[in-house]
Chain A
Amino acid sequence: MDRGADARPYGRRAFLALLAGGASSFLWAGSASNVLSPVTSAFSQLLGNLFPVGGWRIYTVSGSMPVFDRESYRLEVGGLVRRPRSFSYSDLLALPRSHQVSTFHCVTGWTVHDVRWSGVRLSHLLELAEPLPGAHAVRFDSLEVPYNDSLTLEQARLHDVMLALELDGRPLSRPHGAPARIVIPEMYGYKGVKWLGRMNLVAKQPTGYWEGLGYDQDAWVGHSNGYHSV
Chain B
Amino acid sequence: MATTPSERVQRWSRTERAVHWIHAGAFCILLASGLCLYLPSLAEAVGRRPLLKEVHVYTAVAWVSALAAVVALGDRRSLHRTLREVELFDRDDRSWLRARPSRQGRLNAGQKLNTVATAAFAVLFAVSGFFLWLGERDTRFRFANTLLVHDYLMYVSVILLLGHLWLALILPSTRHSLNGITRGWVRRDWASRRHPKWVEALDAEAE
Residues of A at the B interface (CB closer than 8 Å) are 1-4, 6-12, 14-15, 18-19, 22-23, 25-30, 33, 48-50, 52-53, 55-65, 107-110, 173-175, 213-214, 225-227, 229
Residues of B at the A interface (CB closer than 8 Å) are 37-41, 43-44, 47-51, 81, 84-91, 93-94, 105-106, 112-113, 115-117, 119-121, 123-124, 127-128, 132, 135-140, 142-149, 151-153, 155, 197-198, 200-201
> Nearest chain-A residue to B202 (Cβ)?
A1
Contact among B44, B93, B144, B146 for A175, CB-based, below 8 A: B44
Q: Are B144 and A11 in contact (CB under 8 A)?
A: no
Q: Are A50 and B39 in contact (CB under 8 A)?
A: yes
Q: Are A59 and B49 in contact (CB under 8 A)?
A: yes
* A33-B151 Cα distance, complex, nearest whole Å: 11
Q: Are A213 and B47 in contact (CB under 8 A)?
A: no
| Cβ–Cβ < 8 Å partners of A48 in chain B | 41
CB-CB under 8 A for A65 and B47, given A19-B123, A49-B40, A213-B136: yes
Q: Are B145 and A22 in contact (CB under 8 A)?
A: no
Q: Are A52 and B40 in contact (CB under 8 A)?
A: yes
* A217-B165 Cα distance, complex, nearest whole Å: 48
Q: How far is the CB of B103 from chain A (nearest CB, A)?
A: 10
Q: How far is the CB of B40 from chain A (nearest CB, A)?
A: 5
- Count of A-B residue pairs with CB < 8 Å: 151
Contact among B47, B138, B148, B151 for A63, CB-based, below 8 A: B47
Q: Are A174 and B44 in contact (CB under 8 A)?
A: yes
| Cβ–Cβ < 8 Å partners of B138 in chain A | 214
Q: Are A23 and B124 in contact (CB under 8 A)?
A: yes
Contact among B40, B84, B106, B143 for A57, CB-based, below 8 A: B40
Q: How far is the CB of A60 from chain B (nearest CB, A)?
A: 5
Q: Are B145 and A30 in contact (CB under 8 A)?
A: yes
> Nearest chain-A residue to B205 (Cβ)?
A1
Known: A19-B124, A22-B120. 4 other contacts (CB 8 A): A1-B198, A2-B197, A57-B37, A65-B44
Q: How far is the CB of B168 from chain A (nearest CB, A)?
A: 21
